[in-house]
């Protein structure tokens, strides 16, 4: 029993290191060493699950993972770099781990891993909030967990923005959103109590991107409620919740000066007129990206070639926009269309709508955690989706689905 406990602990450690972004400030904010360590952690997780748990990928998923990673690396042959090799390895490891999802055992294991990760991050955010608002202490919990890294939590526009175990507030929001999508695919259902609480917690980071993430998740849950057979009862519950929010929001707006300032903060961030930061950087990068459309984006480009060499952070424009630039329209558009189709196949329009914020998420497009999600869409068999969906329906006393159209 003790050996099993240690094994499960190691699995969670490898997984946490694999999906959590860190930095080496002495080597530069975007140094490749962090991604190297994440790739190694992913490889150790793969070996652990393969050797000790007997979970192995099928040849088809393994071959596709290698093919996609090689394709990305080939786009860098004209201007090769070590970072391109590291990035392609991250893509491959993310897809290879997703390729392990070939049976009920691996499905249950990954569902637990994803939900534990969400819970740990929730605890980290609550600790940061309690120590700051309760005791006035600005403790870097990310730095405590990763001694080589340090969070970028600081006061911004009159508010102190907490990060929990993540490197910055926006990273917490983007990571929680991504793992909620993973949880939805693994569970066969968009809505979940843990997922909803985690999504709402992103408001505590003061991240402007949280408004898009929460809106998309809410829209996805509403669409799912309409699609389900017992949609009348669920819609009624949602209507009650929405009606109940009206007096609550009114109370926040009109009776508390601090909370009114909190709401105004988001208005300022989204309007970008009275704020600096990621929203302004996104607009600068967007103008630079549009200016490159005339010169063509048909074919892949190396990581050394930026569409905006003078921008402070072209990555702020978003994951999929950067993916189009580096992968090329010839590959990126069909691939993204395939992912959209698979998202609909897995959970219907709800998952596609909930995934839309990934277009502007602050991930590097080669982030291995992102490709773990893409791999889930690519490799998770429909039969498992059906089996998992029937388990959920049986739990809630709903009729089972005989087949999927």
* 7-29 tens-digit pLDDT: 999 999 999 999 999 988 766 55
Q: Is 281 contained in some domain?
A: yes
Q: Which residue has the higher pLDDT, 130 or 294?
A: 130
pLDDT score of 346: 92
186 vs 250, which has greater pLDDT? 186
Would residue 401 count as lying in a domain?
no
Name the domain count of the chain: 1
CB distance 90 to 69 below 8 Å: no
Q: What's the average model confidence in pLDDT over 72-79? A: 92
The pair of three-digit structure tokens given for residue 202, joined into one six-digit string: 């992103």
**Within-domain flag for 271:** yes
What pLDDT does 318 receive?
79
**Residue 402: inside a domain:** no
Whether 405 maps to a domain, the answer reads: no
Cβ atoms of 195 and 118 within 8 Å: the answer is yes
Please check whether residue 403 lies inside any domain of the structure. Answer: no
Range of the domain at 57: 2-395
pLDDT band at 282 (very low <50, low <70, confident <90, very high): confident
DSSP letter at 352 equals: H
Residue 56 falls within a domain, yes or no? yes
Query: CA–CA distance from 341 to each of 140, 163, 377, 402 (Å)?
Result: 41, 34, 9, 22
Please report the pLDDT score of residue 150 as a whole number.
81
- Alpha-carbon span 199 to 166, nearest angstrom: 15
Model confidence pLDDT, tens digit, residues 151-205: 876 655 555 678 999 999 889 999 999 999 999 999 999 999 999 999 999 988 8
- Domain membership of residue 282 (yes or no) is yes
Q: Lowest mean pLDDT: which of 67-71, 122-126, 175-179, 312-316?
A: 312-316
User: What's the DSSP call for residue 380?
Assistant: S
Residues paired with residue 156 on neighbouring β-strands, in sequence order = 159
pLDDT computed for residue 264 by the predictor: 57
Whole-prediction pTM value?
A: 0.85
pLDDT at 370 over 90: yes
Calculate mean pLDDT across residues 286-294: 80
- C-alpha 348/C-alpha 378 separation (Å) is 15
Q: What percent of the chain has pLDDT over 90?
A: 49
């Amino acid at each position: 029993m003790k050996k099993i406990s240690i094994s499960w602990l190691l699995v969670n450690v490898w997984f946490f290191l694999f999906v959590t972004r860190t930095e080496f400030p002495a080597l530069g904010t975007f140094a490749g060493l962090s991604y190297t360590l994440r790739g190694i952690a992913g490889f150790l997780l793969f070996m652990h699950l393969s050797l000790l748990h007997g979970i192995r990928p099928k040849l088809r998923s393994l071959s596709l993972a290698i093919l996609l990673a090689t394709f990305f690396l080939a786009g860098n042959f004209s201007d090769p770099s070590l970072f391109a090799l590291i990035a392609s390895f991250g893509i491959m490891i993310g897809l290879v781990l997703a390729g392990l999802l070939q049976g009920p055992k691996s499905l249950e294991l990954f569902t637990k891993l994803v939900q534990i990760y969400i819970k740990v991050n929730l605890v980290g955010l609550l600790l940061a909030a309690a120590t700051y608002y309760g005791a006035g202490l600005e403790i870097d919990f990310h730095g405590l967990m990763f001694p080589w890294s340090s969070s970028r939590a600081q006061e911004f526009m009159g508010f102190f923005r907490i990060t929990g175990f993540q490197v910055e507030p926006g990273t917490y929001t983007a990571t929680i959103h991504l793992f909620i999508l993973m949880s939805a695919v693994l569970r066969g259902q968009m809505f979940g109590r843990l997922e909803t609480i985690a999504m709402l917690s992103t408001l505590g980071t003061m991240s402007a991107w949280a408004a898009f993430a929460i809106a998309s998740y809410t829209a996805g849950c509403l669409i799912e409620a309409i699609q389900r057979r017992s949609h009348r009862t669920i819609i009624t519950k949602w209507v009650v919740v929405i009606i109940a929010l009206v007096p609550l929001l009114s109370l926040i707006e009109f009776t508390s000066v601090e909370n009114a300032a909190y709401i105004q903060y988001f208005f300022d961030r989204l309007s970008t007129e009275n704020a600096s930061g990621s929203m302004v950087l996104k607009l600068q990068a967007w103008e630079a990206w549009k200016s490159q459309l005339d010169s063509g984006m048909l074919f892949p480009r190396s990581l050394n070639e930026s569409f905006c060499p003078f921008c402070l952070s072209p990555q702020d424009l978003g994951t999929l926009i950067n993916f189009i630039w580096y992968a090329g329209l010839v590959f990126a558009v069909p691939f993204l269309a395939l992912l959209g189709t698979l998202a609909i196949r897995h959970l219907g329009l709800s998952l596609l709508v909930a995934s839309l914020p990934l277009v502007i998420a602050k991930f590097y497009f080669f982030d291995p955690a992102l490709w773990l999600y893409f791999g889930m869409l690519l490799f998770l068999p429909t039969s498992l989706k059906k089996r998992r969906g029937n388990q959920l329906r049986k739990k809630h006393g709903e009729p089972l689905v005989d087949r999927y159209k």
